[in-house]
A and B are shown apart, each in its own frame.
Chain A
Amino acid sequence: DTGVSQDPRHKITKRGQNVTFRCDPISEHNRLYWYRQTLGQGPEFLTYFQNEAQLEKSRLLSDRFSAERPKGSFSTLEIQRTEQGDSAMYLCASRTLAGANTGELFFGEGSRLTVL
């Protein structure tokens, strides 16, 4: 297992278009998180899953954003009708709740979105 992978790494789109990002977590990790990071800021929580169940969504998350984890493995994050303010790095992370070091989040490399 090579860690958390995200695809695509970069996406440039025009305002109003829809985009979708994919995240493949570490295989034994049942928790999967999406964060958004803009330049000079810390990762901002968007939503998270335990297996296929979406347990929490940030109050800041617009209804243009939707995330799924249909089989409890990979997850997708879709942004509809993109706006320039959506330009950011979208980070996926996973963790396990089992074992001694259950707190550590393992991040992917991120998907950078640029909305023109």
Chain B
Amino acid sequence: GENVEQHPSTLSVQEGDSAVIKCTYSDSASNYFPWYKQELGKRPQLIIDIRSNVGEKKDQRIAVTLNKTAKHFSLHITETQPEDSAVYFCAATVNQAGTALIFGKGTTLSVSS
């Protein structure tokens, strides 16, 4: 089955800096890679996702890159703001099959002003 590794587990940046979180996955059949943000005491919510037919996707200050050959994908947040502080989870699955998303262990991002 799929296994997702996520690094780093904690990340502290100054407001305005960039933050990068990296994940690797094991199942070469996986073709859908979402990122979820979970604020303290709240439910995880999707912030961006990428499918295996593209290598990069951007949405304002957030971007995700995918390297299928190396089986890794990354989340990039530019111009970080204090409200970006949260736990971020990457995940992977074979999307069309509707099988379960397998999540990484999470990265706690702290943005200080």
Give me the interface of A with B, judged by CB distance under 8 Å.
Answer: 31, 33, 35, 40-45, 48, 50, 56, 91, 95, 97, 102-105, 107-110
Interface core residue of B34, B42, B98, B104 (most chain A CB under 10 Å) = B98
In the complex, how many angstroms separate the beta carbon of A111 from the nearest chain B beta carbon?
A: 12
CB-based A-B contact count at 8 angstroms:
56
Chain A residues in 8 Å Cβ range of B36? 105
Chain B residues in 8 Å Cβ range of A91? 43-44
A107 adjacent to B44 (CB under 8 Å): yes
Q: Which residue of B lies closest to A34 (CB)?
A: B100
Is the contact region of chain B dominated by helix, strand, or loop, or is it mixed? strand
Contact of B98 (CB < 8 Å), options: A50, A108, A110: A50
B98 adjacent to A104 (CB under 8 Å): no
Interface core residue of B34, B44, B105 (most chain A CB under 10 Å) = B44
Chain B residues in 8 Å Cβ range of A40? 105-106
Chain B residues in 8 Å Cβ range of A56? 99-100
Indicate if B102 sits at the interface (CB-CB under 8 A): yes
Indicate if B46 sits at the interface (CB-CB under 8 A): yes
Chain A residues in 8 Å Cβ range of B91? 42
Q: Interface digits, B45-86 against A, CB 8 Å rule (1 contact, 0 not)?
A: 110010100000000000000000000000000000000000
B43 adjacent to A107 (CB under 8 Å): yes
Query: Which 9 residue pairs spanning A and B have beta carbons closest together?
Result: A42-B103, A107-B43, A45-B100, A103-B32, A42-B106, A42-B105, A43-B103, A42-B89, A104-B46
